[in-house]
Amino acid sequence: MMHKAGFVNIIGNPNVGKSTLMNAFVGEKLSIITSKAQTTRHRILGIVNGDDFQIVLSDTPGIIKPAYELQENMMDFVKSAFDDADVLVYMVEIGEKELKDDAFFNKITNSKIPVLLLLNKIDKSNQEQLEEQVSIWQTKVPNAEIFAISALQGFNVKEVFQRIIDILPESPPFYPKDQLTDKPERFFVNETIREKILMHYKKEIPYAVEVNTEEFFEEDTIIRMRSVIMVERDTQKGIIIGHKGSALKRVGVEARKDLEKFFGKQIHLELYVKVNKNWRSNLNQLKRFGYNK
């Protein structure tokens, strides 16, 4: 039986729906999703296995102009997504004008590998607007094959999936057929907690936060975990904890619910907050948190 396999790397501006698409393909919530830019900070693999194919998807951070070391590292993840792709998925959304970074845009338009341009969120548009946008994008990225989709509602997602399988080269699988991702379990604990922080705290707080799960003990019916929420300043620590610990408690309760779904077991989650000055600009700290390529 012929087997196909390859790397399908999803890139685009912040908030266009890259992580939503990846989760829709994989059928699991591997990537956290919020309405805020810079929700995704890493390159995350989602592996979709069939009898005769393996699609290795990469979700990446939205393309931005880096302002500090953490963001430089995030953009390195995006760069790496160009290097090993068999198919580039360039995602844009209805109403979007262009990519904020010319270098990345030129890489896409000059790409030697197949580019699928996904015009996402068409549930928010009408027929006329849609046709107009498709023709604009066809002119801008003539080497791309365009699909109008709604990652959220699943419209045209199956068609894109099928097209990817068509394009994939003949190859044995790159990962064991029962593997879902390249990230360890603790990574998903960190991300789930960070998603709740993105949802519940304002402005700069989520961007000053990193989460590190220090303990993860799996027993028969329960997993016991202890995670530290790192912030850059004492004032931020106070805000995260909230009045009599109420804000932190809400994060813990919501994260635990999601984690119970994700792992299919009862979860005991202990959270605490620590100040780590300027971790976002400190190369050694960033390495420890997995931001080296």
Binding-site sequence positions? 12-19, 59-63, 120-123
Using CB under 6 A as the binding rule, whether residue 14 contacts ligand GDP is answered as yes
# of chain residues touching Mg ion (CB under 5 A)? 3
61: number of Cβ within 10 Å: 25
Binder of residue 60, out of ligand GDP, Mg ion, K ion, none (CB less than 5 to 8 A by kind): none
# of chain residues touching ligand GDP (CB under 6 A)? 20
Using CB under 6 A as the binding rule, whether residue 60 contacts ligand GDP is answered as no
Binders in 2-31 for Mg ion, by CB under 5 A? 18-19
Report the alpha-carbon distance of residue 192 to residue 213 in Å, rounded: 11
Using CB under 6 A as the binding rule, whether residue 78 contacts ligand GDP is answered as no
- Which range binds ligand GDP by CB under 6 A, 29-37, 161-169, 172-180, 198-206? 29-37
Relative to beta strand 144-148, strand 210-218 is unpaired
CA angle 42, 46, 49 (to 5 degrees): 165
Closest by Cα among 87, 79, 46 to 63: 79
Using CB under 5 A as the binding rule, whether residue 120 contacts Mg ion is answered as no
- Which is closer to ligand GDP, CB of 35 or CB of 127? 35
- Which is closer to Mg ion, CB of 60 or CB of 227? 60
HEC profile for 129-190? HHHHHHHHHHHHCCCEEEEECECCCCECHHHHHHHHHHHCCECCCCCCCCCCCCCCHHHHHH
Using CB under 6 A as the binding rule, whether residue 156 contacts ligand GDP is answered as no
Among 6, 11, 18, 269, binds ligand GDP (CB under 6 A): 18
Amino acid at the residue 291: Y
**Under 8 Å between Cβ of 117 and 147:** yes
- Which range binds ligand GDP by CB under 6 A, 34-42, 181-189, 213-221, 222-230? 34-42
Q: Is 97 helix (H, G, I), strand (E, B) or coil?
A: coil
**Under 8 Å between Cβ of 117 and 18:** no
Report the alpha-carbon distance of residue 122 to residue 280 in Å, rounded: 36
Burial of 162 from C-beta contacts in 10 A (0-12 / 13-18 / 19+): exposed
- Which is closer to K ion, CB of 39 or CB of 73? 39
What is the total residue count of the chain?
293
Using CB under 6 A as the binding rule, whether residue 20 contacts ligand GDP is answered as yes
- Which range binds Mg ion by CB under 5 A, 33-41, 48-56, 98-106, 280-288? 33-41
Q: Is 98 helix (H, G, I), strand (E, B) or coil?
A: coil
What residue numbers does the annotated binding site for GTP cover?
12-19, 59-63, 120-123
User: What is the binding site for K ion (CB under 5 A)?
Assistant: 15, 39
- Min dist CB 215 to Mg ion, Å, is 27
Among 108, 151, 230, 231, binds ligand GDP (CB under 6 A): 151
Binding interface with Mg ion (CB under 5 A): 18-19, 40
Q: Rule CB under 6 A: which residues touch ligand GDP?
A: 14-20, 33-35, 39-40, 62, 120-121, 123-124, 150-152
